[in-house]
Structure 1
Amino acid sequence: MTNTILVTGGTGNIGRHLVELLRAAGADHRVLARRGAALLPPGTDVVPGDLTDPASLGPALAGVDRVFLLWPFLRADGIEGVVKALVDAGVRSVVHVSALHVTDDDRRAAGVWGEVEQAIVDAGLGHTFLRASGFATNTLAWAAAIRGGATVRIPYPLARRSLIHEADIAEVAAAALTGDHDGRSYVLTGPAAISQADQLAAIGAAVGRSVPFAEQPPEEARAQMLTWGEPAFVDHALGYWASLVDQPEPVTDTVEEILGRPARGFRRWADDHVDDFRPLPGREVADRYVQAFRDGRMDRALRLTAPDLVRVAPLEDAAERTGLDEIMAHSEQLTADLQIHGVTADGPFVEPGGRRFGVRFAFDETHRPTGRRRTTTKFSLYSVHDGAIVREEVYYLDR
């Protein structure tokens, strides 16, 4: 058995920070990815697999000692199969991101997060449970309205939450994965419980202008939430938010105990994410986009794109692809047989006014089936509207 760590959710908000920390620490690790390998720095060991298909996890788990498990679903269906795959592969310990309200006394009563915890315990796996308060990144749901100057509609604006920065969760997870924290359950929160109204004020302070908001009737919020969540989950969430008006979420100093420094506050989070909430001039979009590629930070590049981004690449196929999900799925298909060693970006070449810019990319890659190493060069022409990239036209120069 090696000391290899498998990271699930490696392309998400917490996972990207965790992968960087493990790389910096020299910890042997790999990332499980159904898709989205392009979101990770070049050279990251990415192994395909899907938590909804435990049989697909075998190659990713080979030789793995510890697993960082971020369960991304609103139900625990299928967790038993995943846990069995971990046990069968000889995994020794799991670090799982759980939820604030889970307790050892009655885990299953806490819903999906408690059910996942119980499955891990029942399997006899070593474990560290990170019982986190609400993620500060959930407030990115307001980003489109704030960028557009619209009024943000929220239920229970005085509900107070001890939101936690995703980087703090990642740092605690890295400590648990590389240290001796087995058998521990940590309640992780931000340094203060602040209302949704004050969260919007903090974002406004970071952006440099006030953010208007209006109280949303609970029934209107419920109708919106039912478009993505089941009724039981939605009703529980709304009831929980209502309770936080008079009984705010607790605050702990666990992050400081483990890391030796206080948890990051919400204003710090807003400063770190200011570009998500303010439209950037076209020139700045271009500069930041190219720098993100040079730094190997596709996550930062994608934050500069519109959700309904259109991509056109005539030499790939005749189709226009719309939306990041469709574009990323197509990218994964194109690069399935490629190992990308690095990317260089020349530019940006910005037209007067900043409404369009171009970038020349060179990909150092190996075609796995043949073992042939080559350089593929392309020129991408981007269109910018309201501070976001809305269109990419791709022209291959050497393929």
Structure 2
Amino acid sequence: MRVLITGAAGGVGSSIISQLRDTGLEVRATCRRPDPQRWPWLQTFPSDLNQPHTMRQALEGVETVFLYSFAQRDSLPRLVEEMKAAGVEKVIVLSTIDTTRHEPFVEYNKQRHLEVENAIAHSGFNAVCLRPGAFARNAIRFWANQIREHRTVGLPFPESQQAPIADEDIAAVAVRAITTSQLDGEKIVLTGPSSLTMRDQVGLISQAIAEPIGITELSEIEARALYGQVLPPEYLDLLMGQWAFETTEKAVVAPAVHDITGHRPISYLDWAIDHRDAFL
């Protein structure tokens, strides 16, 4: 079977590629600027999901696609057409837990991902939708520079709770969807093993790097100025609302990673230890 992994340079995509290496499948990979030296054992193609014609060569003869779901609304019909013309049968969509929520602040993210899910499901593909919650690697995006430079993290809502999931666990479920029929037609919420406050998460990173990390509590104005350096406005609005809401209750902890793969999800401390160099 020939498989195409889109968004291959990202954390989930690259982990799927690593986990598929010894399966005997013919794996292809696409991203905007692939590095052919990174995976010399597979074919890589430059492409852009928002320009579906750039996917044509990579899709030739492909039966299953892992779809990094950030194609824009106007591009989706043409992307579906390219996949159908190539004979693709199954599509695994990387979506979000926000598709299951109803709070106003998730609406932008929810609708954006539902558009992709629905475009795939309604086009006759065998669809599997993976709906992860907070990514553990968000800590690198949001906090790594602060920790490296100041050994301090600015937080607007230190008691906000998430259940961060490692890319490798999302990838392990995706690999099961690619290699078996076990998850066909399913929409699966994926989380890490524990609900942790942001204060807890910073503390575990501190433990991983064996150095103290301070926490500075920020006003929303200060937080918007800080996190606006790495987030576009629509996601900044989402996260400010979401983090405030998440101070009111523990995060959802779903059993799917263990149920599907047979192993316990990677703990946040183990993830932090594996990625400690990002914070040093």
* Partner deviation per Cα, 1:68-98 (whole Å, 9 max, x = no partner): 011246x544223212211222111111111
Identity %: 32
Q: Secondary structure at the match of 1:101?
A: helix
Distance, in Å, in 1 between the alignment partners of 2:247 and 2:199 is: 11
Partner of 1:162: 163
Distance, in Å, in 2 between the alignment partners of 1:38 and 1:63 is: 21
C-alpha displacement of 1:35:
0.9
Structure 1 residues 197, 108: CA separation in 2 closer, same or farther (over 3 Å shift)?
closer
Structure 1 residues 209, 229: CA separation in 2 closer, same or farther (over 3 Å shift)?
closer
Partner of 1:4: 2
Partner of 1:29: 27
1:103-182 equivalences in 2 (<5 Å):
103=100, 110-141=110-141, 142-180=143-181, 181-182=183-184
Matched, 1:100 2:97: yes
Partner of 1:271: 273
Tell me which of 224, 237, 249 is aligned to 1:222. 224
TM-score by length of 2: 0.91
Q: Secondary structure at the match of 1:140?
A: helix
User: Which structure features the higher share of strand residues?
Assistant: 1
Distance, in Å, in 1 between the alignment partners of 2:162 and 2:37 is: 30
Which segment drifts farther, 96-105 or 243-252? 96-105
* Partner deviation per Cα, 1:173-219 (whole Å, 9 max, x = no partner): 11100100210111110001101110000000010011111112112
Counterpart residue type for residue 122 of structure 2: D
Counterpart residue type for residue 33 of structure 1: C
Structure 1 residues 88, 108: CA separation in 2 closer, same or farther (over 3 Å shift)?
farther
1:1-399 equivalences in 2 (<5 Å):
3-38=1-36, 40-72=38-70, 76-103=73-100, 110-141=110-141, 142-180=143-181, 181-227=183-229, 229-278=231-280
C-alpha displacement of 1:54:
0.7
C-alpha displacement of 1:36:
2.8
Q: Is the 8 Å Cα contact of residues 11 and 39 (structure 1) preserved in structure 2?
A: no
C-alpha displacement of 1:50:
1.6
Distance, in Å, in 1 between the alignment partners of 2:228 and 2:78 is: 28
Structure 1 residues 79, 215: CA separation in 2 closer, same or farther (over 3 Å shift)?
farther
- Pairwise CA RMSD of aligned residues? 2.1
Distance, in Å, in 2 between the alignment partners of 1:270 and 1:129 is: 27
Which segment drifts farther, 46-55 or 33-42? 33-42
Distance, in Å, in 2 between the alignment partners of 1:6 and 1:133 is: 24
Distance, in Å, in 2 between the alignment partners of 1:228 and 1:148 is: 16
C-alpha displacement of 1:46:
0.8
* Partner deviation per Cα, 1:105-163 (whole Å, 9 max, x = no partner): 9x987221122111112212111111101110010031122123332112211100011
Q: Is the 8 Å Cα contact of residues 66 and 91 (structure 1) preserved in structure 2?
A: yes
Distance, in Å, in 1 between the alignment partners of 2:84 and 2:189 is: 26
User: Which structure features the higher share of helix residues?
Assistant: 2
Distance, in Å, in 2 between the alignment partners of 1:7 and 1:63 is: 14
* Partner deviation per Cα, 1:292-346 (whole Å, 9 max, x = no partner): xxxxxxxxxxxxxxxxxxxxxxxxxxxxxxxxxxxxxxxxxxxxxxxxxxxxxxx
Name stretches of at least 5 consecutive residues in structure 1 with no aligned partner.
279-399
Name stretches of at least 5 consecutive residues in structure 2 with no aligned partner.
none
Q: Is the 8 Å Cα contact of residues 34 and 44 (structure 2) preserved in structure 1?
A: no
From the CA coordinates, give the structure whose radius of gyration is larger. 1
Q: Is the 8 Å Cα contact of residues 95 and 127 (structure 1) preserved in structure 2?
A: yes
Q: Is the 8 Å Cα contact of residues 151 and 212 (structure 2) preserved in structure 1?
A: no
C-alpha displacement of 1:103:
3.6
Q: Is the 8 Å Cα contact of residues 108 and 115 (structure 1) preserved in structure 2?
A: no
* Partner deviation per Cα, 1:319-377 (whole Å, 9 max, x = no partner): xxxxxxxxxxxxxxxxxxxxxxxxxxxxxxxxxxxxxxxxxxxxxxxxxxxxxxxxxxx
Q: Secondary structure at the match of 1:91?
A: coil
Counterpart residue type for residue 149 of structure 1: H
Q: Is the 8 Å Cα contact of residues 84 and 123 (structure 1) preserved in structure 2?
A: no
In the comparison of the two structures, how many residue pairs are matched?
274
